[in-house]
Structure 1
Amino acid sequence: MRKRTIWAWVVAIICFIVLMIVTPAIPQSQQYHQFADQRRFLGIPNMLNVVSNFPFFVIGVIGLILCYHGNYFKLSLQGELWGWTCFYIGVAAVAFGSSYYHLEPNDARLVWDRLPMTIAFTSIVAIFIIERIDERKGTISIIPLLLAGIISICYWRFFDDLRPYGLVQFVPCIAIPVMAILMPPMYTHSTYWLWAAGFYLLAKVEEAADKPIYEWTHHILSGHTLKHLCAAMVPVFLTLMLAKRDVDTRRISLFEVWRLSWSKVKENGTEVENFSYTYTTVPLEESQTQPPESPTPANCLIEDLHARQ
């Protein structure tokens, strides 16, 4: 098992190096800072983009309290507690970092917007390793993954290259839903992971459609403001999952559950067809007990002729 782990890390590092060699650098576009909604209210510039980060603080604080008070989340493993603690700290810090950035958008402030998000992303990956692969490996991976995220931010800031940060942000977006579907879970309510991934995907679409959404809503809400609100739903769904879940003794992946459900639906469909087939034999059996048909005029005439003869 240790050899497989070492080989997996070696392959991952080689793939990363090759990717950095064969792909060009991706600089930070300055157009990114030109958001559609730049209105000022109550003396606060870009107010809606600033205040729409408040839900991150609320859910981050709630998550931290529930992690350590009353055992509401039933975190039976120490590594889980550390991973979720880092996650909720990152979520709460997003409220401050993103608000600070949107008050005066520029590259220097964007660091403090992306840093807490990176902490949340990498913590989620470590949590998934703990739950789906191995507790010890996942716990050990918390610090290296956090460092990888921080290094990706520093690399972008000093070399103006977004490639490492892009990997840190988007690889979990692909890996986590795939792992949630294919790998057996330790706990129930795994579908909440997919809801969280869906809201994050919706948030990225809204971010890309910042100006069109601002036009469609007649300058009421921009896509970036809606992006903050949808992204805040990610920790909301994960918090609901932690509050509802229990240890899953079956350890069946979502894919296997869906496959069994689909097989059952197909079997039920076959049973319905068989039932309809057997039902067609009922009139044959009942025809012997049915009352005779009402006499027609032709039958009456024939009977009358026989009677006269």
Structure 2
Amino acid sequence: MSAKQLYLLSLFASIIIAIAYGPIEQPQSYHNFADNREFLSIPNTLDVMSNIVIVFPGIMGLLLVKERSQKSLLSEDEISIHITLFSGMILTFAGSVWFHLDPNDSTLFWDRLGMSVVIGSCISLLIHDMWDRNIVAKIHIPILVLSILSVVSWTIFDDLRFYFIIKHHPFVLLPILMYFSQSIYDNVSGYIKGLSMFVLATIFEFTDLRIFELTGFISGHTMKHIFAGIGLWFLMVMIRDRELRINEEE
């Protein structure tokens, strides 16, 4: 079975499972975070301030894109993907800060909107690096649109299934591509480290109260932001330090 066949099979399976499972509404209990302490008149201070870890790789990444595009070290497709990826990190920072200042479905939309841009860009980046870099010019914008629509559809239909399929897409795509394909670059460690950090971030998200009770000073959701930011940092560093394989340059 080829990478394309396995990927399409896994995508089809996830869609069938989502249809069979039925609509998934947004639980309002999601907005009740463990740490609601307020410092310096900032509501939910640590959940708000911990987002700073997410914005740093976004800013550093955009500066990197500017430098390398001026030196003609990136293709037009890579410039487009990198700009949306790192801009999405900054949007996620802004959206998450807004959300945690006043947690509700309306502000959560802006939090997830930024994340959808990052997720869509990661999917395009994986396809460019490990699958077919020639097709990315045609599919990058459609992938971004689909990612954004997954968030819009949640607000319209109060159904998270489409969003969950998109959100977890890279977790399925990366192992398949790493098994069947070889990256055009010499370094893929950022993908592995980033994926590991996002898995840990998800665990912390689901153990928000437990972590806060154990530590007494930091919640699982705050840890989620920190580890997600570290994962994005690993991704940015990988992009910064990697080089094309010799056979790809020829």
Q: CA deviation at 1:23?
A: 2.5
1:239 aligns with 2:229: no
Residue identity over aligned pairs, in percent, reads: 31
Aligned residue type for 1:237: F
For residue 234 of structure 2, what is the amino acid of its counterpart? F
| Structure 2 unmatched ranges of 5 or more | none
How far apart are the structure 2 equivalents of 1:178 and 1:139? 22
The residue that corresponds to 1:229 in the other structure is: 226
- Between structure 1 and structure 2, the one with the greater Rg is 1
Counterpart for residue 120 of structure 2: 122
Greater CA drift, 81-90 or 16-25: 16-25
Letter in 1 for 2:21: T
Give, as a single letter, the amino acid of the residue that structure 1 aligns with 2:207.
Answer: A
Cα separation, 2, equivalents of 1:59 and 1:229:
12
Q: Across the two proteins, how many residue pairs are aligned to each other?
A: 246
Question: For the residues of structure 1 that align with 2:170 and 2:71, how far apart are their CA atoms?
Answer: 23
Aligned AA (2:203): V
Answer yes or no: is the 8 Å Cα contact 2:7–2:176 preserved in 1: no
Alignment of 1:36-115 (within 5 A): 36-70=34-68, 75-115=73-113
Q: CA shift at 1:75, angstroms? A: 4.6
- Show structure 1 runs of 5+ residues with no match: 252-309
Distance 1:185 1:74 in 2: 21
1:5-55 deviation digits (Å, cap 9, x = unpaired)? x99999788667645542310000011111000001000110000011012
How large is the RMSD of aligned CA atoms in angstroms? 2.6
Q: How many angstroms does 1:58 deviate by?
A: 2.0
Partner of 2:214: 216
Pairing 1:12-51 to 2, within 5 Å after superposition: 18-19=16-17, 21-51=19-49
| 2:141 maps to which of 143, 146, 150 | 143
Question: Who is 2:150 aligned against?
Answer: 152
Structure 1 residue 178, shift from structure 2 partner? 3.4
Name the TM-score, length of structure 2 as normaliser: 0.90
Give 1:302's aligned residue.
none
For the 8 Å contact 1:46–1:103, the answer to whether it is kept is: yes
Deviations 1:189-232, CA, capped at 9 Å, x for gaps? 112210110001010001111000001102x1000001001000
For normalisation by structure 1, the TM-score amounts to 0.73
Q: Distance in 2 between matches of 1:169 and 1:72?
A: 33
Higher relative contact order (CA 8 A, sep 6+): 2
